């Protein structure tokens, strides 16, 4: 039987709970902890997500891109809403040592690793493994910096100081395309393993949009 997901249970119900907590958030504490600027006059936090500036309103939560024509919708859709509000509520900004971790080495990542393989690694591989130029174009449009691994790889700035390294190997007659996702070692202070899987959805959605432009 095919898997069916209830969007209200997956996103709507949790988002409603987070929104109630968000109303009681202390902006000054959030600025110190998460390193996100806050404009008290406008009532917005400003985050740079994959090189696009997005305003998060407070105390009533919403996301509005500064440049909606250029910004991919994936950066302010339902998955992005969950990701951003979770960071503002609980995330901590910290410096990376420069090391990168595979998903399974994140706290609780081994528990969710099988889900992550299909949800993110396989989708990226089969979505872009045979279209490397589209992958490169999309990554660069999202502020990605080229790396020297695989057939194509980029470091993507999910948030300032928080980096996801995407590595792609193209398929051929003998082997299917493959991908690897690596995360800067400060990622566990900012997001849980479940959040990182949601991040994968956001990144893949943004890549697909930018590849079409």
Q: What's the pLDDT tens digit per position in 44-99?
A: 999 999 999 999 999 999 999 999 999 999 999 999 999 999 999 999 999 999 99
Q: Please state, as a whole number, how many other Cβ atoms lie within 10 Å of the Cβ of residue 165.
A: 19
State whether 58 and 16 are in the same domain: yes
Q: Are 33 and 45 in contact (CB under 8 A)?
A: no
Query: What angle, 0 to 180 degrees and rounded to 10, lies between the N-to-C axes of helices 193-212 and 109-116?
Result: 30
State whether 126 and 208 are in the same domain: yes
Give the span between the Cα atoms of 45 and 85, in whole angstroms. 11
pLDDT score for 11? 65
Among residues 66, 90, 114, which one ends one of the domains? 90
State whether 43 and 116 are in the same domain: no
What is the arithmetic mean of pLDDT over 8-15?
68
Residue 95 included in any domain: no
Scored b (16 or more CB within 10 A) or e, 3-37 reads eeeeeeeebeeebeebbeebeebebeebeebbbbe
State whether 78 and 145 are in the same domain: no
Residue 42 included in any domain: yes
CA 192-88-102 angle, 5° bins? 25
State whether 119 and 207 are in the same domain: yes
State whether 50 and 118 are in the same domain: no
State whether 199 and 130 are in the same domain: yes
Residue 2 included in any domain: no
Residue 75 included in any domain: yes
Q: Which residue has the tokens 């393993």?
A: 193
pLDDT score for 49? 98
Ramachandran angles phi, psi of 97, nearest 5°: -85, -10
State whether 108 and 187 are in the same domain: yes
State whether 69 and 158 are in the same domain: no
pLDDT score for 174? 84
Among residues 90, 113, 143, which one ends one of the domains? 90
The residue range of the domain holding 59 is 7-90
pLDDT at 149 over 50: yes
What is the arithmetic mean of pLDDT over 201-207?
98
Residue 116 included in any domain: yes
What's the total number of domains in the chain?
2
Question: Average pLDDT over the chain, rounded to whole?
Answer: 94
What is the band of 5 on the pLDDT scale with cuts at 50, 70, 90? very low
State whether 109 and 197 are in the same domain: yes
Residue 78 included in any domain: yes
Per the confidence metrics, is the pTM higher than 0.85? yes
Residue 180 included in any domain: yes
Among residues 56, 90, 124, which one ends one of the domains? 90
State whether 62 and 117 are in the same domain: no
pLDDT score for 20? 97
Strands (E), the chain: 38-39, 44-49, 52-57, 63-65, 100-102, 145-146, 152-159, 162-169, 178-184
Give the span between the Cα atoms of 4 and 137, in whole angstroms. 33
State whether 34 and 62 are in the same domain: yes
Give the span between the Cα atoms of 101 and 81, in whole angstroms. 25
């Amino acid at each position: 039987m095919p898997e069916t997901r209830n969007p209200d249970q997956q996103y709507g119900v949790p988002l409603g709970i987070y929104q109630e907590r968000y109303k009681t958030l202390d902006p000054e504490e959030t600025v110190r902890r998460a390193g996100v600027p806050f404009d008290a006059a406008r009532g917005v936090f400003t985050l740079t997500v994959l090189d696009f500036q997005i305003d998060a309103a407070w105390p009533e939560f919403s996301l509005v891109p500064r440049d909606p024509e250029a910004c991919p919708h994936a950066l302010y859709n339902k998955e992005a809403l969950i990701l951003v509000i979770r960071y503002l509520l609980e995330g901590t900004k910290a410096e990376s040592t420069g090391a990168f971790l595979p998903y399974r080495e994140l706290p609780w990542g081994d528990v969710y690793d099988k889900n992550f393989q299909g949800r993110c690694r396989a989708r990226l591989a089969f979505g872009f493994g045979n279209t490397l130029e589209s992958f490169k174009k999309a990554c660069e449009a999202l502020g990605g910096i080229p790396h020297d691994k695989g057939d194509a790889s980029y470091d993507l700035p999910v948030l300032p100081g928080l980096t996801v390294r995407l590595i792609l190997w193209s398929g051929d007659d003998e082997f299917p395309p493959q991908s690897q996702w690596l995360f800067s070692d400060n990622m566990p202070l900012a997001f849980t393993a479940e959040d990182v899987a949601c991040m994968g959805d956001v990144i893949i959605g943004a890549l697909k949009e930018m590849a079409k432009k």
